[in-house]
Structure 1
Amino acid sequence: MTPHRTLTAFAALGVAALALAGCVAKSDVAASDALTVSSTDSACEVSAADATSGTLTFDVANDSSEVTEFYLLADDGLRIVGEVENIAPGASRTLTVVAQPGEYYTLCKPGMVGDGVGKTAFSVSGDRVEATGDDAEQKQQAVDLYAAFVKDQVEQLQPAVQELVDAYESGDDTAAQEQFPQVRAYYERIEPVAESLGDLDPRIDYREVDAVAEGLDWTGFHRIEKDLWVPADDALNADGETPAWQGWQPSTADERAAFGDQLVADVQELNDYVHSDEFQAALDAQGVAGLSNGAIALLDEVATGKISGEEDWWSGTDLWDFAANVEGSKMAFSLVSDFAASQGDEGQALVDDITAGYTDLEAALAQRGSLADGFVNYRELTDDDKRELTDLINALAEPLSQLTSTVLE
């Protein structure tokens, strides 16, 4: 994390919607019958597993006991390309999207929290179709899809944090160590959202050195991290000078309970915010410039904290954060890439350069592991490894820095 990032700087780290593009007028809806979806407490049953490209409608009936939402996800299972939320028990709502050829997933989320249920492959065949709707409508759709992505990530973060805290407070450090980097990935993808909310990010994600420098109580992920990875006798703090044990005592059971409960409460506050009108209004005010600035900001997050190994100083799990930041940056870029590419040959060339930069950086990360299977400990990286990753970040940062001005042309 980077202290004092503003809302303008964060704007959006986003969700990609390249496979589904454009706004849809009611008159554009295909003549074929709508797909039906039954969302129950344990399943998400869609009437068909495939469709032909064009305008699709999903009539979603909530047959569960809780408020639910329905998602159409891209082939990576992460990017949201369409969603409808706040469907009350017994009610129905419709999702309408322009579907391009490709592979997708359908998913329901009863209770609007957690990973969801009934994740099922969905295939679209046929020819690519042109998006409908004017430029302003398409840009608003990009902002709305980003908002949906943030809400989804925080909805998954909330129960994951509770599970981590339960293990930490009970003294099951082995389980908590395994969960720690995985849980943080949800936060790292949407981290700048919390950074815009005053002291919320300091409470959730400040490193010890930052809290001490600003005279704040040190709480959150990294306070828990230091309990889980007890410093060695010869370890130094992140400042490289102060012995890690100087003035340090492992937390008592009561202190663990206090730190854990505080983190749960802070994540609840974050969840409340991203489901508020205030959050949507902030995104609307930034528009697509905010999305492109978000792509840049998340890469800056990698360059200033993760590549140096300063973020997860005690656990050495920095590459998990690194990968999640890159995912967020890439998804923000993908939301606005079509707008940049529409600016003639120079715009398309810029998009191609940025895309190639992400591909190269992701390939280098893949040599060290993955978010799903885990990465090598940061301390195992050689100087050559760090130099390679730094060079790739710099190579991507240069064209990415031109994105906002190109999108706004």
Structure 2
Amino acid sequence: MIRTSRPLLALAAAPLLLLVACSGGSTAADDSASGGAASGAVKVTLTDDGCTAEPNSVPAGAASFEVVNSGASAVTEAELVNSGGRILGERENLTPGLRGKFSLKLEAGEYTIQCPNAATETSTFTVTGSAPSSTEDPLFAAATSGYQTYVKQQVADLVTATGAFAAAVEAGDVAKAKELYGPARAPYERIEPVAESFGDLDPKIDVRIADVADPSTWTGFHRIEQALFEKGTTEGMAPVAQQLVADVGQLNTLVQTTTYQPADLANGASGLLDEVAKSKVTGEEEAYSHLDLLDFAANVEGSRKAFDLLTPALQVTDADLVTTIQGRFDDVQTALQPYRRGDGYALYTELTPDQVKDLATAVDALAEPLSQVSGKVVGAANQ
């Protein structure tokens, strides 16, 4: 998670809308050559001044958003947020010249497009009318129900593991806290996109020091990680541990009433692979403990779970794609296996550059076909 902190939005436990994000690998120059936005498409342009949507209003129903960085250096992401403060769709890590896409089925109402770090960070986006009704495929219904159960269980495990970790921190037991840090991280990493959708809750739990404007406000796992693994102490960390328990408890409350649409699973699966690529395989996530491969494995596990739940429905529309993705997941897990150490993994610092490259190659090979799932889900859901 590398989003910088922004003013806290009201947290809502409303159901997610139909959401899917696609990996962006093309350039803004390619976009200009495409002849402009097609019918039903919205183009969001990032500049250091802000982010603008063209058009800034669409009818309710399916909409496709293309986010283009036209030269912004301080702004690399855009998010669509509903009136309750829930992030419904986003594209991150778009450096100058790059673009990315996400598609949603939107209900009528007022939304906000946010681009953190811009001079003007928000703009209004309006959806009018009402979306066409559709009958839910029972295979997709089973997938979303299964994912709801999975998320609740992972967050329940997170509550238990975080409680034990925090207790060791409060007791001043450095060795025990270090031992319990990794087990507390894994369930969070499996459902990270869900946590990220709740405004500033994810930054409170998971932000790294490089993404904090005021270090005195730094909270969450990584602040305690620094104290334990870099400084070898728990001094001053009791209040941080208590706040972490409270924030994880809030996440647990929110997921109890959160429901999901089929494309949320596709988006989550791809989003978790993005997390691996941008911070785990680079060794940036666990800067002090170097447990990045544990996070890497948990992201992949969460991604595969979401994909596996969608598989029965996807088999109907594209069995070949399912086979390809399953094989690529197996390849990633095979690539990780040599670094398994009991219940955990080798430290990131033990890897050679060539070994890191091999892991990154396996992740990239999976990310490309996995990004296609979103389109399959949106197409099937709109039939």
Report the Cα distance in structure 1 between the residues aligned to 2:17 and 2:331, rounded to whole angstroms: 28
Contact 1:169 1:256 in 2 (8 A): yes
Contact 2:139 2:313 in 1 (8 A): no
What letter corresponds to residue 348 of structure 1 in structure 2?
A: A
> Residue 257 in 1 paired to residue 228 in 2?
no
Q: Which runs of 4+ in 1 moved over 6 A?
A: 4-12
Give the drift of 1:11. 7.3
| Cα shift readout 1:7-58 (whole Å, capped 9, x = no counterpart) | 779879xxxxxxxxxxxxxxxxxxxxxxxxxxxxxxxxxxxxxxxxxxxxxx
Counterparts of 1:215-230 in structure 2, within 5 Å, are 217-230=217-230
Q: Which residue of 2 aligns with 1:364?
A: 335
Give the drift of 1:310. 0.3
Q: Structure 1 residues 351, 4: closer, same or farther in 2, change over 3 A?
A: farther
Counterparts of 1:8-407 in structure 2, within 5 Å, are 136-212=137-213, 217-230=217-230, 252=235, 255-276=236-257, 279-280=258-259, 283=260, 287-343=261-317, 347-369=318-340, 373-407=343-377
| Cα shift readout 1:186-207 (whole Å, capped 9, x = no counterpart) | 1101111221111111110000
Contact 1:231 1:314 in 2 (8 A): no
Bigger Rg, structure 1 or 2: 1
Give the drift of 1:4. 7.0
What letter corresponds to residue 380 of structure 1 in structure 2?
A: E
Report the Cα distance in structure 2 between the residues aligned to 1:9 and 1:261, rounded to whole angstroms: 35
What letter corresponds to residue 376 of structure 2 in structure 1?
A: T
| Cα shift readout 1:210-241 (whole Å, capped 9, x = no counterpart) | 113x7771010000000111259xxxxxxxxx
Report the Cα distance in structure 2 between the residues aligned to 1:195 and 1:8, rounded to whole angstroms: 15
Q: Structure 1 residues 179, 9: closer, same or farther in 2, change over 3 A?
A: farther
* Percent of paired sites with the same residue: 43
Q: Structure 1 residues 10, 170: closer, same or farther in 2, change over 3 A?
A: farther
Report the Cα distance in structure 1 between the residues aligned to 2:300 and 2:364, rounded to whole angstroms: 13
| Cα shift readout 1:224-265 (whole Å, capped 9, x = no counterpart) | 000111259xxxxxxxxxxxxxxxxx663xx32110100010
Contact 2:18 2:262 in 1 (8 A): no
Contact 2:168 2:174 in 1 (8 A): yes
Report the Cα distance in structure 1 between the residues aligned to 2:168 and 2:200, rounded to whole angstroms: 26
| Cα shift readout 1:318-370 (whole Å, capped 9, x = no counterpart) | 00000000000011111112222212xxx111111101100010011111006
Report the Cα distance in structure 2 between the residues aligned to 1:185 and 1:375, rounded to whole angstroms: 12
Report the Cα distance in structure 1 between the residues aligned to 2:373 and 2:4, rounded to whole angstroms: 23
Calculate the TM-score normalised by the size of structure 1. Answer: 0.59
Q: CA RMSD in A?
A: 2.5
Report the Cα distance in structure 1 between the residues aligned to 2:306 and 2:272, rounded to whole angstroms: 9
Report the Cα distance in structure 2 between the residues aligned to 1:363 and 1:403, rounded to whole angstroms: 22
Structure 1 segments unaligned to the other structure (5+ residues): 13-133, 233-249
